[in-house]
Copies of this chain bind each other. A is one copy, B any other.
């Protein structure tokens, strides 16, 4: 395997200078003469030199790798945040080490260890749904590595937090159902110890309150974010409770509800109106198309990248919380009118 790699010393020997000069030349240090610098660059290219990042980082104590820990990379939302992060980080000379936790707290802890052992310059994280103990987050900070949280964040941990405006999205979504005539609105909630689901729940309750509709706990389905749960909720809650609107904290459970309701020949949106959350790609493919709250994942990624870059080398993390605006996309699952148009609310 590994053929002998060209090192800075090889170049130095070849040119009759010292490694330090070569190093400085490659780094663009202006303490080295212009023509030697150019010669070095030429020879390096000629010899096929590839800098050894390991040696460089070890000596300099700096790293150009940022770790990113997410529940899953194949979620529409997360993959777009990743793209947004890359879009700023790569031009800035950093690269991303992505690890998925598959929603397991244990994997999340392991991921943090791996990243710390690899001496990353910073860590970006959206925690797993299992995570309730955030001591590993604190450990990262204690090691002096900047930690940026996004989307699913814990308020107990210092540092930047980039979050969606879940409350407002939920509020607008529920208000939209009310405006369209719903009075018994069920909520498919997520795990309420996770901030995003708690906030969506809060938005839902606030909308009801504002409209003078009594909150009925019987209409809230907890842990209802996957397709199957949405289907079940139809038989267990939606039909028996004569629900006429569903605000789901997830497009997947909304999808399950649509499918199950169709089986029962319940008309959507005439009998039951539905809106989801996250605007998954399938939202405009399902029949009827699904009203949902779109999150600006790419923009969120940009803000995340900005935050992490800003905090590298800082003594103390700046603990700001940045809210990313969301917009409600109205589709056929909640509006019968064929004059329907997408509208930003």
Tell me, yes or no, whether A322 is within 8 Å of chain B by CB.
Answer: no
With A1-B144, A73-B74 in contact, is A119–B286 under 8 Å at CB?
A: no
A240 to chain B, nearest CB (A): 26
Q: A3-B144, A54-B54 are in contact. List 12 more A-B contacts (CB 8 A).
A: A1-B144, A1-B146, A1-B312, A3-B143, A5-B143, A52-B119, A53-B117, A54-B58, A74-B80, A79-B79, A282-B282, A285-B285
Chain A: interface size category: 35 or more
CB<8 Å pairs between A and B, sample of 12: A1-B315, A54-B54, A54-B58, A54-B119, A55-B58, A73-B73, A79-B79, A95-B99, A95-B114, A281-B282, A282-B285, A285-B286
Q: What are the residues of chain B within 8 A of A5 when measuring CB–CB?
A: 143
Do A58 and B61 touch (CB < 8 A)?
no
A252 to chain B, nearest CB (A): 10
Q: Mark A109-143, 1 if CB is under 8 A from B, else 0.
A: 00001101111000000000000000000000011
In this complex, the member of A1, A79, A80, A144 whose beta carbon has the largest number of chain B beta carbons within 10 angstroms is A1
Q: Give A residues with C-beta under 8 Å from B.
A: 1-3, 5, 50-55, 57-58, 61, 65, 72-76, 79-80, 82-83, 86, 95-100, 102, 113-114, 116-119, 142-146, 255, 281-282, 285-287, 312-315
With A118-B54, A282-B281 in contact, is A61–B98 under 8 Å at CB?
A: no
Question: A51's closest neighbor in chain B, by CB?
Answer: B117
Do A117 and B1 touch (CB < 8 A)?
no
Complex formed: what's the CA distance from A281 to B75 in Å?
12
Do B50 and A116 touch (CB < 8 A)?
yes
Question: A317's closest neighbor in chain B, by CB?
Answer: B1
Of B55, B82, B142, the residue contacting A73 (CB under 8 A) is B82
Complex formed: what's the CA distance from A95 to B69 in Å?
13
